[in-house]
Amino acid sequence: MARNAVPLGTGYVMPDPNTAWVFRSFGQHCYAIVKGIIEQVVGSGLIYLNSHAVDFRSPDLRPYLDKYVRGSGGMQSVDRVKLLKLLWDAMGTEFGGRHELYERNWTGSDEATRADAYIIARETGRLDAFKGFADQCLSEYDLDGWTIPGYVDRSDVNLFTKLNGK
């Protein structure tokens, strides 16, 4: 919304309304769903982090942090802690809780929000562009796979293809 702000009078801008309407439509549902997935997957990882970055500068603590707080796939402890602290800020703090309530309660009724998005898309001509994008996506594959070059053909790992000898 900020990157594509729209000029609004002298010295003023308005967040990109197209992006804002999409965010408004999906925010009510998506924030709570994503938050729940992160909480389920990360579990206690959001809780048992070191309390401050200065802990990484301690010669007594750093070896333990590097050993016990590292991530999988070679992720270093500092990078993992930074990521998990960011997730905590978005979900576990007062900000995160207020944001979830805001998305659920103050964005507007679920039906009205979706109706507004549809009406605005129709009135601005973007509805045809959205339908065109969906049609384009649907035309890029058929029962035999991708119809455009550059996409990976997964037939070598498809059980049904192997069983039917194709």
pLDDT at 104: 74
Distance in angstroms (rounded) separating the CA atoms of residues 33 and 116: 22
* Topology given in CATH for the domain delimited by 6-123: Butyryl-CoA Dehydrogenase, subunit A; domain 3 (1.20.140)
Q: Which of 58-62, 97-101, 137-141, 157-161 has the lowest mean pLDDT?
A: 157-161
User: Residue ranges per domain, the chain?
Assistant: 6-123, 125-166
pLDDT at 158: 66
pTM over 0.75: no
By percentage, how much of the chain surpasses pLDDT 90? 40
Nearest to 95 by CA among 106, 83, 86: 86
